[in-house]
Structure formats: C-alpha cells, structure tokens
Structure 1
Amino acid sequence: MSLYEELKWRDLIKDVSNEEQAKKLLDNEKVRFYCGFDPTGESLTVGHLVQVVRMKLLADHGHTPVVLIGGATGLIGDPRSTSERQLLTLEQSLKNAELIKKQISSFLDPKKTIYVNNNDWIKEIDMITFLRDYGKNFNLNYMLSKETVQSRLATGISYTEFSYMLIQAIDFLHLFEKENVKIQFGGSDQWGNITTGLELIRKTHGDTDAVGLSSPLLLKADGTKFGKSESGALWIDSELTTPYEIYQYFLNTSDDDISRYLRTLTLLSKEEILELERQAKEEPEKRVAQKRLAEEVVLFMHGKDALHESQLVTDSLFTGEFLKLPEHAFKTLEKTLDSSVIENEIDIVEALKKVGLASSNREVREFLSNGAVSVNGEKITDPEFKINKDNSLFNKYAILKRGKKKNGLIVIK
C-alpha cells in the first residue's frame, strides 16, 4: 500500500487539489510539507492529534514536516461559523506559540522537523504592500464564496477575520519560496484557506507542483464535536487534562466511533486495526479495541510512565484499593474523586461530609457504628478520630471509604 493509499485508508484525506500530483509527491519523492497551528490557547487539544499523527506518518516515510505556529494569524483569528474570536495580544500569541511548539516537538524528531512562526514575515509587510501585492490577486466574489465566510454572512464578519485567508495564503507562498514546501495539510474547515494559498502561488509563479490536502473533521458518530468531555475540552497539556482522563475518554469510545479513531489517531498497522475492528464487531462486550485505543493514544501523548499510572488509577477506582499507588498518582485522584483540601487536621465527621460521603452528622454516626467507614484502609468507628499528616499517605493524602464503592480524598496542605 502506497503512502497516499494509506492516507486514504486511514480517512486522512478529504479534499485534494491535484490527486495525481499529490500521489507523485507523496509516493515517489521526499518533500517538505506544512501544517499550521494558531496559538489561540496555551495548549493544543486532543482534536489536533489528527494533524499530529498525519505529520508523524509522513515523517516516518521520509518527508520533512514544517510546523507553522501562527504567531501572526493567531492575532487575527480564523473565522468561526458562530461569532468573532476574542483577540489576543501579541505577547499572549507569542507566549502560546512557544508552548505549542514545545508540545509538538515531543511528537516529532527535532532533527528532522522545521519550525517557523509566521509573525516573523507577516510583521514585515506594510499595509500598502499587503493591499497591492497580495490583496490585488483576489476579487471579493472569490473570497465571499469560501464556506467559512458564507457561514458568517448572516450574522456578520469583520474585515479582520475576512482577511485571514489572505494572510494564510501569504504563509503558503512564503514557505513555497523560502523553504521549498510543496504540500499544505489541514482540516477540511481549512480548505478555503489552503486553496487561496494555492491560487496566490499560481498567480505569482504560474503552474507549479504545489498541492493542498485536507482531512475530514473528526466528529463522533452522533455528529457532536470530538475531543470534548463533560468537563470541557481535552487538552494535550497533562497539567490541564491528566493522562488518566485521556485514557478514560478513549476507553469509553462508542462502538460506532472505534474504527474511525483507530485509523486516524494511531499509527497501528492496518493488519492490527482490522483485527481490532473485527473483535469490536464480533465481541463488543470485551471492549478490546477500546482498551488498545486508549493505551495507544496515552502512550503517544505522554509515554509509558503516564500510561502505566493511568492503568493503575483505573484499576484502583474499580477495585477500591488505593494504598499501592505511587505518590504522583494521587494528583490524578484529586481530579477524579470528590476531594477537599484542609489545613493541618480534620475530624472524621466533617471529613466525610466535605467529600460527599455523608450529608449529616446523624448519617456519619450511623456509618461509623456500622463499621462502614475506613481511612487509608483502617476501619474507623470513633467519631472523635482526626485525620492529619501523621496518619496520612505521603504526609498529605487520606483516602476515605464508605462501604465498598464510595470513595473520597482529603488533601492536607
């Protein structure tokens, strides 16, 4: 299977400007390709993994990734279908750009990857040059026909966001001229911007071998946005979203979504994916494919140690056994269990109420007298019992249990 055929099989190609040229570049040559990321936040989300996985796949086949961090385009904001984006300051944009560059560098070989920030060349273009040398190449009808613009005409779109496609077009032209970049990749929502760049290259250089490709947006089977949990976006930054939360998200993937996620979010071989798809279809109750997907995504994002810890926490929450967990795993439990931070010490009555294991003093006394309460594995019946550093784990944590399945966490400052 050629690289282009594999991209198609993995559902990583939706639109292509010139299929024959794309096949030639991808299958028979070693070229530079680029994908852009606007630093609208301090971290990428799990939804960006589609582009990251595709870059890794191409790099593994000998092509050179050029990662563009949009320090300039991040100041403008790619038009959303709903409303204007909140504008970033230059300081915010450049700070976020460095954080995102650091994130992406953990996935790609730094010796074989080129990083650029479009603020470096966009900031050098004055207004008259922008209007004469670039804006003159596009008429309003062409720009208004773009889907992202069309979706905003009813509610209104500022000239700032309307001009975004021209700035991204300049990026493609710049990288084509200065870095010999032949291919631009992006999500299907970027197709209008990608083709605008190709048009600018054509008008500047005539017919060239530059091509653009897009991938389908990764949605759930019910049409809702991928990468959202009940608590909000799933971030690549482990401080914002723990590896355990990522693990759980994919462990709970629906049977309808499992094939799509295995193909687009992992680099597992075709043979293994087809076997996992078969198991998911014939023995869905075993959830073998979901477990493999969760393992592969966490391993790719955060490494072996994070995967091991995620599995330990998952097992502990299932069995109710927490005493063998390493200290760092308790940081994950802080975000998973009902928890409360205290100063110095707290009596068992208040502790149980703070973590939601009892609603009143009467309930606490009843649970204690029935022997239903334990702290760090020790059964507690005394209502005067106090939790402090002396009887905590790692001088900081106390696991409260009520019965076999109700758990809470006290964190001592």
Structure 2
Amino acid sequence: MTNIIDELKWRGAINQVTDEEGLNKLINEKSVGLYCGTDPTGDSLHIGHLIPFMMLKRFQMAGHRAHIIIGGGTGSIGDPSGRNSERVLQTMETVHHNEEALTKQMKKLFGADNITIVNNYDWLSKIDLLAFLRDYGKLFNLNTMLNKEVVASRLEAGISYTEFTYQILQSVDFHHLWQEHDVQLQIGGADQWGNITAGIDLIHKMEGSDAQAYGLTIPLMLKADGTKFGKTAGGAVWLDPKKTTPYEFYQFWLNQDDRDVVRYLKYFTFLSHEDIEDLAEKVKTQPEKREAQRKLAEEVTEFVHSKEAVEQAKRISAALFSGDVKTLTADDIEQGFKNMPAVECASEPANIIEWLVGTGIEKSKRQAREDVNNGAIRINGDRITDVDFEIDPSAKFDGRYVIARRGKKKYFLAHVK
C-alpha cells in the first residue's frame, strides 16, 4: 500500500499533523478509516472546498476507507470558521435541499468503492439538551475553547453561543465515526485545526488516552500574487455545471499563472511524479506552449465533470480561437458564449442590414452597410458581403441562436425569441 503521507508531503499538501509518527505506523499496518466534512451552506461545492476532498480521494485511491460527513446538523447552526460575523441561519428545507445536492456531487467524485457518506443530523438531532451538557459539555474546558484560533479571532467582534458550540458538535462527529465506523483520522483545511484537535481530545477523554485518533490539515491555498485561490472576477468557480459551465471551468484552469501551475498539478491531479516533473521542466523551458496548463485543465475537468466535457471545452476553445463556429452545437454555444454580449432577435427571416440594426449590433444602417461591404460581418461563421443577404434564425443551432461577429473578435450572441 502506498505511503500516503510521503505522497502528500511531496505534493506540498500537509500543513499540520497530530502525532505523525503514530499515524504513519497505523497507516503502514492497516487500512485506515478517515473523514472530511462539509456543511450544506449551499447546493454546490466550489474549487476552494475541493482541496481537502482531493486529499481524501488520494487516501481512497491508496486503499483506505474514506468517509464524508454532509453536515445537516452542524450546517443548521453555522461554522464560525473564516468569518467575522454570524452566519444567517437557513431554513431546514434549504438545508435538506443542499444536503441532497452535495451528496450527489460527492457520489460523482468518489464513486462507490471505499467510500461512506453520512449526515451528522442523524445522530446530532437525537442528543437532547441535558444529555449534551452532561455527556459532552463537562468534557470541554472553557479556557481551551476560547483559545482556539477560530473562536479567539471572533471574540472582539462577538460570537454567539450557537457558533461557539460548533467545535463541540464537530468533536461529537469525530467520536461518533470513531465508535461506529472505525474512523481514526480527520482531515480538513488549515482553519479546522482547532476543531480537529478538540475532537481528538474528546475521544481520548471518553475512550482512553491510548485511543488512536489523529488529525491532518491542508495548507491555506494562495496564488503567487498573494490573492485567494479559487476566486475570479465573476465570483467562485463552482463544481455544479449549471453555476460554472464545464467550458468556464476548463478555461479557469487553462489560464493559471506559470508560477502556480506546477503546485496545482500536484494538488488537483493524480498524475505521477515523473509526469509532473516533466511538465514543470516545460514550464521553465517552453512556457509559451502552456502544456502544463492544458494538462491541468484536462485532468481537473475530467475528474469533476467527464472526458466528454473536456472534449467539448477544447472544441469550443478551438472554435473561438479560429472563428470557425460552424461546427459547434447549440449546447456548445450555450456554454462558450455565456458571457458574450447578448441580444435578441425574432425567429422570422430578415435582411442582414435590418437585422444588425434591429438587434443593436450596429448603430445605423449606414454603418451596417459599410461593415457588410468591407467583409467585417460574419453570421454563424460565414462572412457576409451582400447587403441583400437574408438571415434565417432557424437555420443553425436548433433555431435557438444566431452568432454574429463584427471585426476580428467582437462576438454577439442573438437569442432567438
């Protein structure tokens, strides 16, 4: 079995470990149970959330028993981590909807082998107030809780008792999985260190100091320019294809900085050491070819979406680069032109000049005629030079779209009404 700790170290994916020697010994002896959790605060993960789950996937691929907690219980009260203010409490209806969406995403990413997905609402909801205070509250020292970074950072602005108790609930999760699923290791982001160590302390207090329980955190991911990874001008990069299309997802990875791409290859792909080192060398010697970025985009898009999504993204990219959009499908258009200037047009055929002015692509008939005569107008990939040309909106792309291009790069997507 692969020494997964050494593998994670090579990939720069370990921030802190509790009792590394003990964890290494355990991993070398048997298949380890481990878990990572996420709260259903939304109906999709974004790529920032993906980082610890990529590490969980590596453990799974190395033969270990991966567990995922969808935090229906903890998600209903709110994790104080990484925030300067209280979370807005969601309705239980919203929480349950998000649980279902995240569970579906996890099943797609992890498949069926060596994976167990559970919901902490199933056990946390059964603990009454007196049992919570008697069985768990007595085991947590208030001073220790206040000193946890995730709480200490909130004391000045203020923190509710609800969010203050989050670390107890997460600790209960670890103990439950330890007891019911033979889970010995919890992994999470760097901001989860306090919650993870609180869970280990709880297990030792309840089960004895020799109980095997460990924690591992992932470094905070920053880009080379110091800004937060995973954010774009348009916001988060989501795993849900309805929120971030596979084409946009592919483009995000394709556009990574040379200074970041090798680190991302180590974090987000399952390529071998040799393959990554070869790509790293090409970044140094042939950066203009951007082979590392292309490989990164292909690997992560295939993992999150599918091989077909990769091929579609490449097809859209090639068509936009060359201007040859005739081979694209309506679905390709929907993805690739999502952020292009959009106009509307009627479904009936219309003269090219009338159509350009009617959609607002051209400001005047005079300008429209000039551009057509000069060959500056393309409709659905074809150059139009005849001012009497008639556009038939139903002719291409299932009658849903007309693509107009003015000049070399100015695209417009006309939605057929």
TM-score of the superposed pair, with normalisation by structure 1:
0.94
Amino acid at match of 2:401: Y
Whether 2:227 is the aligned partner of 1:224: answer yes
Question: Displacement, 1:354?
Answer: 8.0
Tell me, in whole angstroms, the C-alpha distance in 2 between the residues paired with 1:371 and 1:168.
65
Question: Is the CA contact 1:355–1:409 (under 8 Å) kept in the aligned structure 2?
Answer: no
Change (3 A) 1:377 1:253: closer
Give the match's secondary structure for 1:195. Answer: helix
Deviations 1:293-336 (A, max 9, x none): 11111111111110000001111111111001133211113414
Match of 1:372 in 2: 376
Which residue number in structure 1 is paired with residue 134 of structure 2? 132
2:214 aligns to what? 211
Q: Indicate conservation of the 8 Å contact 2:167/2:195, yes or no.
A: yes
Tell me if the contact between 1:338 and 1:356 (Cα under 8 Å) persists in the aligned partners: no
Amino acid at match of 1:16: V
Range with bigger deviation, 216-225 or 270-279: 216-225
1:324 aligns with 2:327: yes
Aligned residue type for 1:398? V
What does residue 41 of structure 1 align with? 42
TM-aligned CA distance change 1:25 to 1:406, over 3 Å: same
CA distance in 2, matches of 1:18, 1:238: 40
Deviations along 1:29-87, one digit per CA (max 9) or x if unpaired, are 10211110111101000112222221221111110111110001111111133222121
Q: Offset at 1:121?
A: 0.5
Report 1:269-280 matches (<5 A).
Answer: 269-280=272-283
When structure 1 is superposed on structure 2, of 215-224 and 339-348 the one drifting more is: 339-348
User: Which residue of 1 is the match for residue 286 of structure 2?
Assistant: 283
Q: Distance in 2 between matches of 1:38 and 1:66?
A: 14
Q: Distance in 1 between matches of 2:298 and 2:399?
A: 31
What SS class does the counterpart of residue 399 from structure 2 fall into?
coil
C-alpha displacement of 1:359: 4.4
Asked if 1 retains the 8 angstrom alpha-carbon contact of 2:302 and 2:309, the reply is yes
- 1:113 equivalent in alignment to 2:115: yes
SS in structure 2 at match of 1:181: coil
Which residue number in structure 1 is paired with residue 196 of structure 2?
A: 194
Deviation at 1:98, TM superposition (A): 1.1
Alpha-carbon distance in structure 2 between the residues aligned to 1:378 and 1:262 = 39
* Counterpart in the other structure of 1:252: 255
Could you say what the CA RMSD is over the residues aligned between the two structures, in angstroms?
2.0
How much identity, in percent, do the aligned residues show? 46
Structure 2 letter corresponding to 1:2: N
Matches within 5 A, 1:157-172: 157-172=159-174
Are the aligned partners of 2:139 and 2:205 in contact in 1 as well (CA < 8 Å)?
Answer: yes
Partner Cα separation in structure 2 for residue 129 and residue 118 of structure 1: 17
Counterpart residue type for residue 49 of structure 2: H
Q: Does the C-alpha gap of structure 1 residues 193 and 341 become closer, same or farther in structure 2, counting only changes over 3 Å?
A: farther
Structure 1: any 5+ residue segments left out of the alignment? none
1:288–1:356 distance in 2 versus 1, CA, 3 Å: farther
Q: Write the distance in 2 (CA, Å) between the matches of 1:24 and 1:153.
A: 39
The answer to whether the 8 A contact 2:344-2:359 is kept is no
- Deviation of 1:185 after TM superposition, in Å, equals 0.6
Task: Kindly provide the CA deviation profile for residues 112-139 of structure 1, in whole angstroms up to 9, marking residues without a partner as x.
Answer: 3111000000100111111121111112
Aligned position for 1:23? 24
Given that residues 405 and 412 in structure 2 are in contact (C-alpha distance below 8 angstroms), is that contact kept between their aligned partners in structure 1? yes
Count of aligned pairs: 413
Identify the residue that residue 245 of structure 2 maps to in structure 1: 242
| 1:249 CA drift (Å) | 0.9
Conservation of the 8 A alpha-carbon contact between 1:3 and 1:27: no
Distance 1:195 1:115 in 2: 22
Residue 371 of structure 1 deviates from its aligned partner by 2.7
TM (norm. structure 2) is: 0.94
Distance 1:316 1:283 in 2: 24
| Alpha-carbon separation, structure 2, partners of 1:176 and 1:371 | 70
Give the alignment of 1:363-402 within 5 angstroms: 363-381=367-385, 387-402=391-406
User: 1:355–1:408: 8 Å Cα contact kept in structure 2?
Assistant: no
**Distance (whole Å) between structure 2 residues aligned to residue 276 and residue 339 of structure 1:** 38
Q: Which residue of 1 aligns with 2:12?
A: 11
Measure, in 2, the Cα distance between the counterparts of 1:411 and 1:58.
47
Map of 1:411 onto structure 2: 415
Residues 231-275 of structure 1, C-alpha deviation per residue, up to 9 Å, x if partnerless?
111000111101111111111111111121011111111111111
Distance 2:14 2:358 in 1: 51
Whether contact under 8 Å (2:345, 2:359) holds in the other structure is no
Residue 383 of structure 1: how far off its partner (Å): 6.0
Question: Cα distance, 1:158 vs. partner?
Answer: 1.3
The more displaced of 403-412 and 371-380 is: 371-380
**What does residue 302 of structure 1 align with?**
305
Q: Compare 89-98 and 346-355 and name the one that shifted more.
A: 346-355
Native 8 Å contact 1:53 1:267 kept in 2? no
Runs of 4+ with deviation above 6 angstroms: 353-356
Distance 1:405 1:370, change over 3 A: same
Unaligned runs of 5+ in 2: none
Q: Which secondary structure state, in structure 2, belongs to the residue aligned with residue 241 of structure 1?
A: coil
Alpha carbons of structure 1 residues 287 and 241: separation in structure 2 relative to 1, 3 Å: same
Determine helix, strand or coil for the equivalent of 1:35.
Answer: strand
- Which range moved further: 126-135 or 304-313? 126-135
The verdict on how the C-alpha distance between 1:367 and 1:16 changes in structure 2, with shifts beyond 3 A counting, is same
